[in-house]
Amino acid sequence: MRPVRPSIGLVRRPVHITRRAGIIGGGALALSLAGAMRASDLTAGETGRVAAVTSGQTFTLDSGLRVKLAGIAAPRRAQSWGREAHEGLAGLLRGRRVRLSYGGDSRDRYDRALAQVHTLSADGSEDLWVQAELVRLGLARVYTWPDEYIDHAPLYRIETEARARDRGLWSDASYGVRDPEPNALAQHVDSLQLVEGIVTSTADVRGRAYLNFGADYRTDFTVAVAKKHRKRFTAYDPVSLEGARVRVRGWVELINGPMIWASHPARIEVLS
């Protein structure tokens, strides 16, 4: 039986990486809402006009409400593609009326609204799903949190296409999908990464699930699912993934070998 890994604190520091020259030009094309997540599928929230865009993932309404886009992660301003993400969101939202919708926690610890966001046309109907458009342009990656309850499949399909076409940040090797080779992954500790590989073995240790990507868990890459989060995995049990090819996303820690905690089922894409 696999021993329990010790728990250590994770310091989430910005990753400083070289900027690739070039900015996405032209206006963003509206993404069709057909087959996508509509605000009507969620809990209706506030409506207002965007007064300021403060980053590639945050903005403020004219009411003063600060909003963070849920379900995605845009590069920070200090990171490669951070400026482009900020400018891209500003181009989509500046001066526009928007509707917020909630599929889980509605506020974060900074009292910002955590919302899916749709821009509104003159007649008040939805005309753009903002998260999906940022992902389509390659200005954000899909990233889920434990208390989000929406269908992320449409976002993953859009992200897969953007990655295949090298759009935006996907043209930058700093954002590439990583191999589970532990020495290489150890160079990316404290950063958000996508890692793809075959699960060589799994283990259940007092309710905590481990997915191992090598023969020696003391040094190889591992994905862990805490007991409190495992109950969210209703479509499958993580320990059933032995032999499967998966793509996992999360912050890389160094606990024995490199490790990612999967606190939400959508952080693990089962590819085969």
Stretch 212-240: mean pLDDT: 94
Please check whether residues 165 and 185 belong to one and the same domain: no
pLDDT of residue 184 exceeding 50 = yes
**Rounded Cα–Cα distance for residues 110 and 138 (Å):** 27
Please check whether residues 77 and 132 belong to one and the same domain: yes
Structure tokens, 238: 């993580």
pLDDT of residue 168 exceeding 60 = yes
pLDDT-derived band at 37, boundaries 50, 70, 90: low
Please check whether residues 56 and 147 belong to one and the same domain: yes
Of the three residues 121, 152, 171, the one that is the final residue of a domain is: 171
Residue 24 lies in a domain: no
**Rounded Cα–Cα distance for residues 207 and 229 (Å):** 10
pLDDT of residue 84: 98
How many domains are contained in the chain? 2
pLDDT of residue 217: 84
Residue 240 lies in a domain: yes
* Domain of residue 235, CATH code: 2.40.50.140
Q: At residue 158, what is the residue type?
A: I
Please check whether residues 75 and 183 belong to one and the same domain: no
Please check whether residues 199 and 125 belong to one and the same domain: no
Stretch 119-130: mean pLDDT: 95
Please check whether residues 142 and 63 belong to one and the same domain: yes
β 113-120/66-69 pair status: parallel
Please check whether residues 68 and 189 belong to one and the same domain: no
Least confident window among 35-39, 60-64, 220-224: 35-39
Residue 7 lies in a domain: no
pLDDT-derived band at 26, boundaries 50, 70, 90: very low
Residue 23 lies in a domain: no
pLDDT by residue (tens digit) across 132-152? 999 999 999 999 988 888 888
Stretch 164-180: mean pLDDT: 97
pLDDT of residue 18 exceeding 80 = no
Structure tokens, 35: 């087959």
Closest CA to 199 of 224, 177, 174: 224
Percent of the chain with pLDDT over 90: 78
Please check whether residues 149 and 206 belong to one and the same domain: no
Torsional sign, CA 50, 90, 159, 262:
negative
Residue 27 lies in a domain: no
Please check whether residues 164 and 191 belong to one and the same domain: no
Domain that holds residue 199: 177-270
pLDDT of residue 151: 83
* Domain of residue 115, CATH code: 2.40.50.90
Please check whether residues 44 and 134 belong to one and the same domain: yes
CA neighbours within 13 Å on the CB side: how many for 115? 25
Please check whether residues 190 and 140 belong to one and the same domain: no
Please check whether residues 161 and 198 belong to one and the same domain: no
